[in-house]
């Protein structure tokens, strides 16, 4: 049995207690997987001659309407590898309820839904290509029980094809004309325009993060209140009162806003980049991974910015978020950042100047009764207090008249 985990790539991955707990659970899961592999039933799920046809792309990127046909032989091999490596968490039925799944947070993915967080999906009709899925499995998801799996490419391909059989409504779907649906194109990041302009990229990214892209509506704000106000009113020329809607002024501007997620059966907390681990952002390829993640979002809980922001701006945000991630290995700098928030905690939005008093220009020669003084509506003659006729006792004022 050639089961191996890729070594954890950086000491940082082990930094938080949460990840240590996950690691312990993973060891348990690993033991269960080994056991399962040893006692794998001989009966194979796919009878000889059966074929399953999945959504795919041709290598040249063109549509392949007849899909990718996989033989029972290959699916049975995929099943065996799945049982060995993945079943303990993802379960016999692929529903995420394997024997080692209990108590795991986040829970293992339910493959029967055919949806994925980090595979660039932007709608429930889309399907990832194998390259995206392989990237996820080979690199793992930091801070979760999903470690990096060093499985030979061909074998991993068979495991992934087997996983597709858990969601035939997605992967084996055909259109009205009988064509199979396509998977997403293979992703290629455009060139990073900020390559030698790190400082400018971070400054631009910081502004976008806190303003136009509104990342701080879910993730923490990394500017003190006053700095945020200045950025908003000076840089973006906002009116002071429209600024109130900005996330930086929510009750806990430097915390995250948890999102309920029926798809993933758990509440998800958008990470604080200076503290939490980021699952699909890998040491050494952070900027590229961030560009991909911000472009496509986290389906369906974090929106995609591709199309609503230019690539250049998405790259700038990637550089800025990377600079925040780097603070995890620099606690002194992270503490200094947070001290800055404290110093600006009491900042209040300056009040807009009082508007000039409004002058009533209605011409009138009968002074209306003051309803406050009489307790009566002036259009109801019976209700009018006779005393109200005496301006001295009723407090009736003459309306200012300008003619």
Residues that bind ligand HEC (CB under 6 A): 26, 29, 33, 85-86, 88-90, 100, 104, 106, 108-109, 116-119, 133, 136-137, 141, 144-146, 149, 151, 159, 209, 213-215, 217-219, 259, 264, 268, 270-271, 278-281, 290, 293-294, 298, 301-303, 305, 317, 321
Residue number with CB closer to ligand HEC (4 or 393) = 4
CB 369, min distance to ligand HEC, A: 54
Q: Is 207 left (phi over 0), alpha (psi -120 to 50) or beta?
A: alpha
Residue number with CB closer to ligand HEC (33 or 70) = 33
Residue number with CB closer to ligand HEC (57 or 324) = 324
322/53 Cα distance (integer angstroms): 40
Residue number with CB closer to ligand HEC (143 or 374) = 143
CB 241, min distance to ligand HEC, A: 22
Question: How is residue 329 written in tokens?
Answer: 């290995």
Residue number with CB closer to ligand HEC (104 or 246) = 104
CB 225, min distance to ligand HEC, A: 20
> Which residues in 73-86 are b (16+ Cβ under 10 Å) and which e?
ebbbbbbbbbbbbb
CB 205, min distance to ligand HEC, A: 8
116/128 Cα distance (integer angstroms): 8
281/293 Cα distance (integer angstroms): 8
Tokens 């709608």 belong to which residue? 123
Residue number with CB closer to ligand HEC (173 or 212) = 212
152/246 Cα distance (integer angstroms): 48
Using CA atoms of 251, 257, 258, 259 in order, give the dihedral in degrees to the nearest 10.
Answer: 120
CB 268, min distance to ligand HEC, A: 4
Q: Are 222 and 320 in contact (CB under 8 A)?
A: no
CB 381, min distance to ligand HEC, A: 59
227/344 Cα distance (integer angstroms): 8
């Amino acid at each position: 049995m050639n089961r191996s985990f890729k070594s954890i790539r950086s000491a940082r991955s082990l930094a938080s207690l949460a990840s240590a707990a996950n690691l312990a659970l993973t060891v348990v899961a690993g033991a269960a997987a080994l056991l399962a592999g040893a006692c794998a039933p001989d009966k194979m799920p796919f009878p000889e001659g059966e074929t399953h046809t999945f959504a795919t792309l041709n290598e040249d990127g063109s549509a392949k309407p007849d899909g990718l046909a996989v033989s029972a032989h290959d699916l049975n091999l995929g099943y065996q590898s799945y049982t060995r490596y993945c079943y303990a968490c993802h379960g016999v039925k692929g529903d995420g309820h394997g024997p080692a799944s209990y108590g795991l947070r986040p829970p293992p993915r339910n493959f029967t839904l055919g949806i994925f967080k980090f595979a660039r999906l932007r709608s429930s009709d889309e399907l990832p290509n194998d390259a995206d899925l392989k990237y996820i499995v080979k690199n793992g998801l930091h801070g979760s029980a999903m470690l990096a799996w060093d499985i030979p490419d061909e074998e991993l391909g068979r495991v992934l094809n087997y996983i597709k059989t858990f969601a035939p409504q997605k992967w084996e779907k055909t259109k009205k004309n009988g064509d199979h649906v396509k998977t997403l194109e293979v992703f290629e990041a455009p060139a990073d325009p900020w390559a030698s302009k790190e400082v400018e990229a971070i400054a631009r990214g910081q502004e976008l993060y806190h303003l136009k892209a509104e990342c701080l509506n879910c993730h923490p704000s990394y500017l003190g209140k006053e700095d945020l106000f200045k950025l908003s009113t000076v840089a973006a020329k906002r009116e002071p009162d429209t600024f109130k809607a900005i996330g930086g002024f929510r009750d806990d501007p430097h915390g995250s806003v948890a999102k309920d997620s029926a798809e993933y059966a758990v509440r998800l907390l958008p990470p604080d980049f200076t503290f939490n681990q980021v699952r699909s952002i890998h040491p050494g390829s952070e900027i590229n991974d961030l560009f991909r993640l911000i472009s496509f979002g986290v389906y369906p809980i974090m929106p995609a910015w591709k199309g609503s922001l230019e690539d250049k701006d998405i790259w700038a945000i990637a550089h800025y978020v990377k600079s925040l991630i780097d603070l995890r290995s620099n606690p002194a700098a992270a503490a200094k950042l947070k001290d800055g928030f404290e110093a600006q905690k009491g900042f209040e939005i300056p009040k807009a100047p009082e508007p000039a008093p409004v002058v009533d220009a209605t011409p009138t020669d009968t002074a209306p009764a003051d309803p406050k003084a009489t307790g009566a509506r002036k259009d109801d003659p019976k209700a009018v207090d006779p005393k109200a006729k005496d301006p001295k006792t009723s407090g009736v004022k003459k309306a200012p008249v300008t003619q």
